[in-house]
Structure 1
């Protein structure tokens, strides 16, 4: 018997001995423990446990509901979430990458946040619209609600830029390449840019953003995959080409998948980094806050941006979802309401350097720092949600893995050509 079932059974026995109360409905009154899978947001699992546990203790103090916490690494999270859709003894409440919302929604395993359910956690109008747009397929109730909001930005080392005679961060990819060449000094172990070449999710996120700038689509209006199109080939050529053609990325980055690029930036082995809310992690790694700057991600130079295609990030972030199999739906929704309250949004997003997902929390000065201002500007004006289609999670895995293979080719000195990219994308599309 699981811990959760044991606790529920013991509580039920006590309740029956005392009275007949608590026997009806969805047995919400009987299940006094919620199992919560949190995503790894900070520099380590221990950091997340230390950040979250005091808040979970506060929730228990207020409600009497104990929350059993497990922090799940990103490398395991999607597989475990999908497995739990078939397990009625799985977790009650989970964090999900917001790009997976439609894929997980399609399983039918999650409580839909229709109007009435949204009202139980504060109502639709509390949430940042762009964040809520990445919570499920269009025209359907969201399968989750936003918890932490994020966007990509370009982090750059001010001292390294000054030493190279570069006055300002790049605004276009051509400028980034030019700056990267000035900053790349392989003999000194210094590179212009760090990437996570073996990380499928990171690769897929950049594939989406670059494709948007080339006016590309990964799925057509009817939801059919359109992986091997010219805009998508050009987008991946541009991104992988930062290593393969421009040589401003260390070939060793082709094997990076666990935040090594962030560590290289923090240790001054790379002058630029494209990341989501990196500040707290960089500072914990020993990089002074005044040593790095934050700027919006670059765009393509004209004529590509003519016509208003100015997307430089996906709508990034973490959503919170409730499994239908929970034995305490009322308590689970109370927990979601607690975690999305102004107080908790301020505490947790401060700790992680992310942005609140509820409008009213922005009154706190912590979200008006230079870094937060850039992230907020991007999230609310130049970010787009990844396709909210059931196959989105497969897109991330298949296209992201194909790009990892292309990075491996680049690191080995094998040419990365439009033809080789198109072949990889066609093969990925065939696996859907």
Structure 2
């Protein structure tokens, strides 16, 4: 079976998939053939793994080289505060600093989790959920502030999904397009910004800070991609592992990248792509990715992080999200997520 990385903890909690020991890794050609960071969400620890990395989809940001140069910006921002300040310089007329998609089903929670983990809040901290933590509240305030306070995104983005944000960047209407990947290359190379864009790491320092505070991790992206798992009830386990070994070989992975644009999980294949200037930032992001918490409750927690944004869309459309409304939404989702975590730990 193929699983998205963030679904792997849920699959693990069922107990329905083969745990990978020395014998299984040997059948696959060895654990060391995979990019080390890609193994970060294969299981709760190195002794209890079910996920075999297949492809990697780390997130980066695209930026318009001409717009940054015209604004006197020498290099992309590395902190979220710097990112917001640069976006202000890049916003004028119908051109905005950032293209984001507030109504996307997948993007919003990644910003919040990323800013939170960078500041030291993993969201699930042992037996406690920390959605209503001041760190995470600051993340929402920053993310919402781009449209309500800083005015650096198109007001229409409150209703956008990711393809609409991509279209705005592709039309030259935005200088930055965060939370994307090299999968956007075909669209961008067929657009007005062909030859005028590059990728860079998204900021790795949280809002309000000039460096990561104690406990904070400079996460460039969630650990994103696909894992492969083998059902414990399978009568053809050896055949399944042989197939997985074949499709994670260097040459096969490079060909898969060429056809589908998915980055290799095979370490040799990934290293070969490091000389590709366009792809290199995504490979670096993959190496600096941090896994979301390995918990069977993560799906519910992720949904709660998204729900805060969904419930705030009407407020964003009207131009502001009050402190009272945001605090109440965080409190409500905290309770739901804590219940999910308590249930998962029983």
After TM superposition, the score normalised by the length of structure 1 is 0.70
**Equivalent residue for 2:4, pick from 93, 97, 113:** 97
CA contact (8 A) 2:270 2:283 kept: no
Question: Is the contact between residue 62 and residue 177 of structure 2 (CA under 8 Å) also seen in structure 1?
Answer: yes
2 CA distance for matches of 1:160 and 1:116? 53
Cα distance change, pair 112–164 in 1 and its aligned pair in 2 (3 A): same
Q: Distance in 2 between matches of 1:213 and 1:342?
A: 33
Per-residue CA distance 1:301-355 (angstroms, 9 max, x = gap):
6455355743332222221223345564333323222221111111112344443
Aligned residue number for residue 269 of structure 1: 173
- State how far apart, in whole Å, the 2-side matches of 1:351 and 1:395 are: 34
For 1:351 and 1:425, locate their aligned partners in 2 and report how far apart those are by CA, in whole Å.
42
Say which structure, 1 or 2, has more relative contact order (CA 8 Å, 6+ apart): 2
Q: Which of 121, 127, 134 pairs up with 2:34?
A: 127
Report the 3-state secondary structure (helix = DSSP H, G, I; strand = E; otherwise coil) of the residue aligned with 1:113.
coil
Please say if 1:205 is aligned against 2:110: yes
Gaps of at least 5 residues in structure 2 are: 341-346
Q: Establish whether residue 227 from structure 1 lines up as the match of residue 134 from structure 2.
A: no
**What is the root-mean-square deviation in Å for CA atoms of aligned residues?**
2.4
Shift of 1:165: 3.6
- In the alignment, the residues of structure 2 paired with residue 108 and residue 209 of structure 1 have an alpha-carbon distance, to the nearest angstrom, of 29
Q: Which of 318, 333, 341 is the equivalent residue of 1:412? A: 318
Q: Residues of 1 paired with 2:53 and 2:156: CA distance? A: 35
Q: Are positions 1:329 and 2:237 aligned together?
A: yes
Which residue number corresponds to residue 254 of structure 2?
Answer: 346
In the alignment, structure 1 segments of 5+ residues that lack a partner are 1-92
SS where residue 48 of structure 2 aligns?
coil
Partner SS for 2:115: helix
Secondary structure, counterpart of 1:227 in structure 2: coil
Residue in 2 that maps onto 1:175: 82
Once residues 191 and 107 of structure 1 are traced to their aligned partners in structure 2, the CA distance between those partners, rounded to angstroms, is 46
1: CA distance between counterparts of 2:91 and 2:103? 21
Deviates more, 1:170-179 or 1:99-108: 170-179
Rounded Cα–Cα distance in structure 2 between residues aligned with 1:396 and 1:218: 9
Of residues 280, 283, 286, the one that matches 1:373 is 280
- Is residue 335 of structure 2 the alignment partner of residue 427 of structure 1? no
Contact 1:201–1:397 (CA<8 Å) still a contact in 2? no
Query: Does 2:135 align with 1:238?
Result: no
Q: CA deviation at 1:416?
A: 1.8
CA contact (8 A) 2:100 2:162 kept: no
Secondary structure, aligned partner of 2:63: strand
Contact 1:263–1:285 at 8 Å: present in 2 too?
A: no
Aligned with 2:229: secondary structure? strand
- The count of residues paired between Structure 1 and Structure 2 equals 333
- Show structure 1 runs of 4+ deviating over 6 A: none
Contact 2:54–2:227, Cα closer than 8 Å, also in 1:
yes
